[in-house]
Amino acid sequence: MTQRVVLATRNAGKVAELRRILADAGLDLELVGADAFAALPDVAETGTTFAANALLKARAVAAHTNLPSVADDSGLCVDALNGMPGILSARWAGRHGDDDANLDLLLAQLAEVPDERRGAHFFCSAAVAMPPGPHGAAGECRVVEGQVDGSLLHQRRGTGGFGYDPIFVPYGSARTTAEMDAAEKDAISHRGQAFRALVPVLRELLGG
């Protein structure tokens, strides 16, 4: 019977991305998103690091579903803003997940920053948590990470991806991550790196 694994997100793009990576690795898992569980509560991201938030979400979902669970926390860290928006990336403009507002605010904050000081990186922590054991003992957890460095444009370019992709150009590329197709982005992205690093961890924990 195929092992079911929950990815603690309602973002269909993230679910599709991890499904592609698991399939490419030959891992026979049934990956479902948080939407597969109607009563699954949202988990408050109260951690002060990407790793802490990923672990919070993975553990909570594993406990609620009694299934192995994966969660990630990722964001854009801008050199000129001392690493912000960082863990606040998804709600930088105040409302969680408002990509256009977040982009508008960040571009306004960087309006006077010259090209040579527009360095930034995307960072991702991905956690896997096994469901609790007998007598409420905590299940095993692991965390892996990924990072891609680049620079930020002065205006949007490209219609793919999500979040800050339209202004982020990875070093060594002439295109934003919003101008890349899914396979190209997976190959270099922070989340792609972290999700690929999860493959051997899932094999070990799930015996696959």
Residues labelled as active-site residues: 73
- Give the predicted TM-score (pTM) of the model: 0.90
Tell me which residue range forms the domain holding 19: 3-206
Number of domains composing the chain: 1
Q: Please report the beta strands in 63-188, taking only residues with DSSP state E, as ranges in sequence order.
A: 69-78, 119-129, 141-152, 168-170
Tens digits of residue pLDDT in 78-93: 999 999 999 999 999 9
Q: In what order do the strands lie in the sheet with 168-170?
A: 29-33, 3-7, 69-78, 119-129, 141-152, 168-170
- The CATH number that applies at residue 102 is 3.90.950.10
Q: Write the pLDDT tens digit of every residue in 155-198.
A: 999 998 889 999 999 999 999 999 999 888 888 999 989 999 99
